[in-house]
Structure formats: structure tokens, C-alpha cells
Amino acid sequence: MEILHSKILGKGQPFIILHGFLGMSDNWKTLGSKYAENGFQVHLIDQRNHGKSFHSDEFNYDLLSDDVINYMNHLNLDSAIVLGHSMGGKTAMQLATSHPDRVKKLIVADIAPKFYPPHHDFIFNGLSHLDFDKISDRREADDKLSKYIKDRGIRQFLLKNLYWVEKEKLGFRFNFDVLKDRMEEIGENIFPNAIYDGPTLFLRGDRSEYIQPDDSSEIKRHFPNAKIETIDKAGHWLHAENPKQFFEKSFKFLNS
């Protein structure tokens, strides 16, 4: 059994953070450090096929949830607070509804319990045009990617995944081929009868379309004790776009 790669910060109550699709634990380093400074033992996890965790042809939310349970068992964590963003939010929802005794509190960042149609085609189209036999540094990769992905923020987010596979040879940390083939899985919903009645906070970006006002009834059906709050001046990457308010609202919930 392979165990997920993580960075552990601080001491105190275990607090697991799960990144989004094509992300990695590093995306949460700044906020993770802030939680750690305030009395939590923060586990910044790389999910399978992402970051420094293992690669696998199998990829669905059941498995992603089981990966976290295996990680918790490996470190003898009886329970933890769990925060997940986007894809990580779906993993966190699956985990909380499947193993409610292992999740003390749940925070879901900018994703709802519903199906999302595949919408990452333009990203994979851009990434597939990066020829690492010809590209020798990040600047060249960014230049090439800019022809397909205009948003500089998205490009910078993706380029964090580049690393030196060997001397003078770049590659992706994420499992490009499997994730490209599993785009349908990313949009899948948690089970229809799944319920977690522990304390839950959904945070949505005011400029994001991922959580709509009419999603609240479905959120409350699966998570009867959920609060839904909005982060101002933020899109889907709300934790990066307004980290101050994200921390304030999440920290207030953690201490309530």
C-alpha cells in the first residue's frame, strides 16, 4: 500500500488540507503555515497522481478518500479537521460522508456536491503542446503555454508542476496522461445518499460560478449542519486571491 506524500507543519489538532485538480500541497503552504502558528498540526497532502505522491491508472473519489484514510492510519490519526479545495473538496466530502467518525470538522472551498461537466479541455490542449525535448526552462514553457492559455494566473499555477526529471530535462509532477483521460471522474458527485452531519463550512468566491445560490438546498441535504459563506473579491482560487478573509472565516469556524 502506497502512502500519500505530505508536508507536516506545527503541533496540535490534526488538520488535513487537500489541494485541487492539477495542484499540489505547495499551493497551501502560506495558509498552512498560518494555521500551524495557531495551534494546529497541518498536513499538506499531495493527492494521488499529483505533486510527489504516487502515480496510478486508477482515479476516482472513492480511492482518493481511501488514500486519506490510509494516510491517517499510517500516522495513527484517529480523526482530523479536513479542508479541501475544488477536486480536494470533493475528496473531503467523500471522506466525511464515508468515514464521519474520522472527520472532526469539514471545510469545503468553492465546490458543491453536484456533477460538473468536464471543462479543463483548454488546459490539457495547452499542456499537450509543451515539448520537453525542446523546452529547456520555465520561461520558454510559459511562452509556449501563453498561446493556448491567456490567463497568466492559471499558467503560473500549472507551471509550479514543472520539475527537473533529470539534468536539463523538465517534466510534470502530475500524471498528465491519466488525469487527461479521467476528466469525467473529476466532475463526479458524491453518492446520492451520502450524509455528514458534523460541523461543516462551505466557502465560495463571490466571482466564482462553482457554487450557485440554488446549490444551497443540495448542500444542506448532504451536510445538514453546513454554513455557506462568501469570500469577497475572489474567484475559484479564493484561498490565493483573498487569503486574509479565507483565513479569518475558516479560523472563526475552527474555533466555534
What are the grid coordinates assigned to 160, written together? 509550479
pLDDT digits (tens, 9 = 90+) for 3-62: 999 999 999 999 999 999 999 999 999 999 999 999 999 999 999 999 999 999 999 999
What are the residue ranges spanned by the domains of the chain? 6-116+188-254, 121-181
| Total-model pTM | 0.96
Superfamily for the 6-116+188-254 domain = Alpha/Beta hydrolase fold, catalytic domain (3.40.50.1820)
Whether the Cβ atoms of residue 148 and residue 129 lie closer than 8 Å to each other: yes
Torsion angle of C-alpha atoms 61, 63, 67, 70, degrees rounded to 10: 130
Residues ≥6 apart with Cβ < 8 Å to 36: 9, 10, 12, 42
Using CA atoms, how far residue 108 sits from 1, 25, 178, 211, in Å, is 27, 16, 25, 11
Q: How far apart are CA 85 and CA 47, in angstroms?
A: 12
Question: Which residues are the active-site residues?
Answer: 86, 177, 236
pLDDT given for residue 234 in this prediction: 96
167 pLDDT above the threshold of 90: no
